[in-house]
Amino acid sequence: MELIKSDLSATIRERVGNLPTLPDVALKLLELTGDDDVSINQLMQVISHDPAISSRILKVANSAYYGFSRQVTAIDHAITLLGLDMVRSLALSMKVFDYFRGIKSGGFFNLADFWLHSIAVSSIARDFVQLVPLGPRDLLFTAGLLHDIGKLLLLDLLDIRYLDLIRAVEKEKVQLHKMEKMYLGMDHAQTGAFLLERWEFPQEIVLIIHDHHLNLDQQRLDSVQAVILADILAREVGLGTSGNVAPDGHVEDILQNLGIDIAQWDLFCSNYKSRSEKKITDLMSVFS
Nearest-5° Cα angle at 120, 116 to 122: 120
Which residue from 244, 215, 216, 218 is spatially nearest to 231, judged by alpha carbons?
244
Whole-number Cα distances in Å, 272 to 47, 130, 155, 269: 31, 12, 31, 5
Query: Given the rule CB under 5 A, which of 51-59, 67-75, 140-148, 216-224 is the region that contacts Fe ion?
Result: 140-148
CB of 5 to Fe ion, least distance (A): 21
180 binds Fe ion (CB under 5 A): no
CA 163, 164, 168, 170 torsion-angle sign: positive
CB of 35 to Fe ion, least distance (A): 29
CB of 219 to Fe ion, least distance (A): 13
Name the residue nearer to Fe ion (CB basis): 148 or 211.
148
Query: Given the rule CB under 5 A, which of 130-138, 147-155, 158-166, 245-253 is the region that contacts Fe ion?
Result: 147-155
CB of 38 to Fe ion, least distance (A): 29
Assess contact for 268 and 128: CB atoms under 8 A.
Answer: yes
Half-sphere exposure of 246 (CA within 13 A, CB side): 16
111-127 vs 277-284: helix axis angle to the nearest 10? 120
Q: Would you give the binding string for Fe ion spanning residues 205-244, x where CB under 5 A is met?
A: --------------------------x----------x--
Query: Given the rule CB under 5 A, which of 87-95, 142-150, 198-206, 279-287 is the region that contacts Fe ion?
Result: 142-150
148 binds Fe ion (CB under 5 A): yes
CB of 55 to Fe ion, least distance (A): 28
Name the residue nearer to Fe ion (CB basis): 79 or 227.
227
Query: Given the rule CB under 5 A, which of 5-13, 21-29, 36-44, 148-156 is the region that contacts Fe ion?
Result: 148-156
CB of 84 to Fe ion, least distance (A): 27
Assess contact for 199 and 38: CB atoms under 8 A.
Answer: no
Name the residue nearer to Fe ion (CB basis): 129 or 214.
214
Name the residue nearer to Fe ion (CB basis): 127 or 148.
148
Maximum Cα–Cα distance across the chain: 56
CB of 121 to Fe ion, least distance (A): 6
**Total residues at interface with Fe ion (CB under 5 A):** 3
Long-range contacts of 164-168 (CB under 8 A, 24+ apart): 164/1, 164/3, 165/3, 166/107, 166/108, 166/109, 166/243, 167/1, 167/107, 167/108, 168/1, 168/3
Name the residue nearer to Fe ion (CB basis): 99 or 115.
115
CB of 163 to Fe ion, least distance (A): 17
d(CA 147, CA 157): 18
Name the residue nearer to Fe ion (CB basis): 127 or 231.
231
42 burial via Cβ count (<10 Å: 0-12, 13-18, 19+): middle
- Contact residues for Fe ion, defined by CB under 5 A: 148, 231, 242
